[in-house]
Chain A
Amino acid sequence: MRKPSLKDWAVYPALGWTALFFALPLAAMLAMSFAERVSGAIVYSGTLANYIGFATRSDGALVAALANSIEVTLIVTALSILIAYPLAYILAYRIPPRWQRLLLILIILPFWTSYVIRSYSWLLVLSENGVINQTLLALGLTDAPIGFGNTRAATILGFVHFFTMLLTLTIYSNLSQIKASYRLAAADLGASAAQIFLRVTLPLSLPGVGVGAFLTFVLAIGDYITPQILGGSKELLLPQAIMLQIGRTADFPMASALSMILMLVVSAAFLVSARRLKMDRV
């Protein structure tokens, strides 16, 4: 037998880090979600009170937050795909190859603005004196400024802006890997442009769409900044509700329970998209 070498243990520091600072905190959170607060102190009593409280709270605010989150995220995912797909398509098939990469980098440049700053910028654009209202007023399309801020629409707009860029990236990289010969072969066999798209290009690009959609769903449903800055607190999304539990009342057991529910939703999304992707490959 050989001596164990550097290569044999190289994987363990990273695994250890993940165990200590990722798995352990998640486990602590899971335990915390079954705990209760007794006069300020945390008692691990194995209670289901947090989960029951989530479902039965009289004002229904927490269930509503979950419903809002899922609704907003699904709308954002769908809209972003609808907007990004044509953009990625034009980029992959209508732009000469040597310009594609440069143009792609340009298109997703604002992707790299700070998360906080990006939402703030939309706040500027949407404000009562902002560019959009000023333009609408100048064109005579409205008599008084429209209050876009602190609405669900503003949250969705902010999200769609970001995820359009992300999805353009994933869909483009998928489209550009589909060999031109497939489309040429379909055309050669008599398919029209629409038929080529529907029967060749679109099915082959679905894995890219699926990966992008999953990423969008996961990132959007867990984001606190965008809804907090653009949507305000009139209508809460789940991450805002979680932050409220921590911030205002330091109710870590309830925050943990809500986080577990959030993870459950993400896992479900993962299972759905994984199954879809597998079916597409067949």
Chain B
Amino acid sequence: MAEPLVRIAGLRKAYGELTAVDGVDLDVAAGEFVVLLCPSGSGKTTILSMLGGFTEPDAGRIEIAKEDVTALPPARRPTATVFQDYALFPHMNVAANVGFGLAMHKVEKSERLSRVTATLAMVGLAGFGGRAIHQLSGGQRQRVALARAIAVVPKVLLLDEPLGALDLALRRQMQEELVQLQKRLGTTFVHVTHDQEEALSIADTVVVLNKGRIEDMGPPRRVYLRPATLFTATFMGESNVLPGQVAEATANRVGVETALGILRSEGSAAPGAAVHVALRPEQLAVAPAADRQALGRARVIDLTFQGNHLRCHARSTNEEGTPLLLRLPFDTPIEIGNEVAIYAKPTDAVVLTR
């Protein structure tokens, strides 16, 4: 990676007994779309707030474009924030909201007007400048908040769960628009959410946080398919997690003894170590194939038709009665009470050492 635009080192913040951010190091490249993801109240908003300059860290430093901004007030940072509740100025119209930052930076009036017009067009609100805030729908307010923040051309745009208040359909639409906008502007986006699907669909880099620490970070595909930790495997979508013990180990492959047999996959661990093996519900099958390994038999306990697939709870017929969750093709001929053979590609299995 080239010289990062944002460099966070050893960032720490506690509120009394509660440690919200516990030693976070994070580099963000220029033009990157980073999504901080974690369960509610796990420090993501605090990190964003420290980036924006609204919260003073207890320890650590923040650099933006090689400048130490840790002690700078919000007004003097090259960041702009889109707030969760939008925080629009209710007594100003749309154009005055969007032009506020430019006015604060003493941009001359005629230029201000043309930049406001251009910014509003960019977020799909051309012609809305004269509207009062209370005349707008939730989605429109969201766009005004976005326009107001990008109007000042920040180096880093901070988005604090900006889509949280929108209904599902609008949220999906805005996600796509955000990605397009980010590509067009080339601005670095740091976006915070607790919605895994949102994170996977918009991020260049997903940062998974838990208890104020970074659990995992990387491209969405990698984080989903090869999670680094047990927490990520269960938090990013559903997983079948099987406890096991390392039976054999070579340079980058391990075989793990589990209740369903030995699974051989990528990874490294010492022989004899207690580990977990994770398999996604869609990685389990009830039909054999050349590259699939048999994992014993299981009885179907519950079946739910979910449109494009069948969600199936089963229990292994082995001694432990291991519970299994499967996501099967919707036309699989299967009934509750059936006993079926379980298969999986051993290479799909993720060996988790922590």
Contact = CB atoms under 8 A, between A and B. Distances in A.
Nearest to A3: B73
Interface in A1-40: 1-2
Contacts of A1: 71
B56 interface: yes
Interface string B33-68: 000000000000000000000001000000000000
Contacts of B71: 1-2
Nearest to B56: A2
A227 B199 CA distance: 71
Q: How large is the interface on B (under 10, 10 to 19, 20 to 34, 35 or more residues)?
A: under 10
A2 B53 CA distance: 11
B300 to A, nearest CB: 40
A2 B71 CA distance: 7
Q: How large is the interface on A (under 10, 10 to 19, 20 to 34, 35 or more residues)?
A: under 10
Nearest to B72: A2
At the interface, is chain B mostly helix, strand, loop or mixed? loop
A41 B73 CA distance: 59
Nearest to A1: B71
Interface string B55-91: 0100000000000000101000000000000000000
Nearest to B53: A2
A266 to B, nearest CB: 36
Contacts of B56: 2
A1 B57 CA distance: 11
A141 B56 CA distance: 78
A93 B73 CA distance: 52
A221 B183 CA distance: 71
B350 to A, nearest CB: 46
Contacts of A2: 56, 71, 73
A2 B55 CA distance: 11
A1 B71 CA distance: 7
A43 B23 CA distance: 65
Interface string B285-303: 0000000000000000000
A187 to B, nearest CB: 34
B152 to A, nearest CB: 22
A1 B56 CA distance: 9
A108 B98 CA distance: 45
A2 B73 CA distance: 8
Interface in B172-231: none
B73 to A, nearest CB: 7
Nearest to A5: B73
A38 B73 CA distance: 63
A212 to B, nearest CB: 34
A171 B73 CA distance: 47
B121 to A, nearest CB: 37
Contacts of B73: 2
Interface in B87-133: none
A160 B14 CA distance: 54
B69 to A, nearest CB: 13
A8 to B, nearest CB: 13
Nearest to A2: B73
A2 B56 CA distance: 9
B353 to A, nearest CB: 43
A2 B75 CA distance: 13
A258 B209 CA distance: 64
A50 to B, nearest CB: 48
Nearest to B73: A2
Closest 4 CB pairs of A and B: A2-B73, A2-B71, A2-B56, A1-B71
4 contacts: A1-B71, A2-B56, A2-B71, A2-B73
Interface of A: 1-2
